[in-house]
Amino acid sequence: MTQVNFKSRLLGCFAYCLTTLLQLTIRKVKITDLGYDPNKPFLFAFWHGKQLLPVLMLRQHQTKRAVLVSPSRDGDILTVWLERLGYEIIRGSSRARNIEALVGMIRKLKEGYSLGFGIDGPIGPIYRVKPGMTHLAQKFNIPIIPVGSAFSRCWVVKKAWDQYEIPKPFSKAALYLGEPFSVRPGADLTESNLALEKLIHAAEEKALALL
């Protein structure tokens, strides 16, 4: 278990209890592309502000699972919450402990883990793909699953850079797992990032249509 301070552990446990109760009231729909295989390792790409539903529902994926969490005070709370949900944690981001994060992700991929993280985090700009995931996909020949999620009713944290979404009780939630996206050897990563952005937006639209 990751070491965090008492306050963060308390808040993380509270978040776990709250989301556990909340998801009992939500009607969830999950649709996957035919190329998705729950028994194979993937990289899961979703927007930072829409990570709640993927985190809750991708526990059904059958490989070992790890997530990237920033080394911040908010990240301490997320760490406790995610560990309670059954994920292994890699601490780091593009801004801090980036080498440590990269080494951790490489180790997990070599061990057959699936990885997921908010691909426009940790501080935005919103809905812009950062280069880390496409680099890993290319280097380790592992496909990326573009993930879309939508709620029929939700709160939006307007003051947050990522416009974080929290579903309201008794709402409907839809998760869409798109066609696996491979980054071929020698491909330009800037172009791959733009292509992945379009695929995540398309997955978001398909999730919204399910409502």
**Which pLDDT score, from 0 to 100, does residue 96 have?**
67
Virtual torsion, Cα 65, 38, 185, 105, nearest 10 deg: 0
Which two tokens mark 53? Answer: 């539903």
Residues 46 and 54 sit within 8 Å (Cβ to Cβ): yes
For 166, phi and psi rounded to 5 degrees?
Answer: -125, 120
How many whole angstroms from its chain centre is CA 86? 14
Asked if 103 contacts 66 with a C-beta cutoff of 8 angstroms, the reply is no
Enumerate residues 6+ apart whose C-beta is below 8 A from 105. 66, 68, 90, 115, 136
Task: Assess contact for 114 and 65: CB atoms under 8 A.
Answer: yes
Per-domain boundaries in the chain: 27-65+103-209
Rounded Cα distance, 87 and 80, in Å = 10
Q: How many CB atoms lie within 10 A of CB 194?
A: 14
* pLDDT digits 0-9 by tens, 31-59: 999 999 999 999 999 999 999 999 999 99
> What values do phi and psi take at 11, rounded to 5?
-65, -35
Bridge-based pairing state of the strands 144-151 and 172-177: antiparallel
Residue 136 region, left (φ>0) first, then alpha (ψ -120 to 50), else beta? alpha
Question: Within the chain, which residues score under 70 in pLDDT?
Answer: 1, 94, 96
What is the model's pLDDT at position 92?
83
Compute how many other C-beta atoms are within 10 angstroms of the C-beta atom of residue 117.
26
Tracing tokens 């057959």 back to the chain, one arrives at 112
Q: For residue 148, give Cα distances in angstroms to 88, 91, 106, 205.
A: 22, 24, 25, 7
Burial of 210 (0-12, 13-18, 19+ CB in 10 A): middle
Whether pTM > 0.85 for this model: the answer is yes
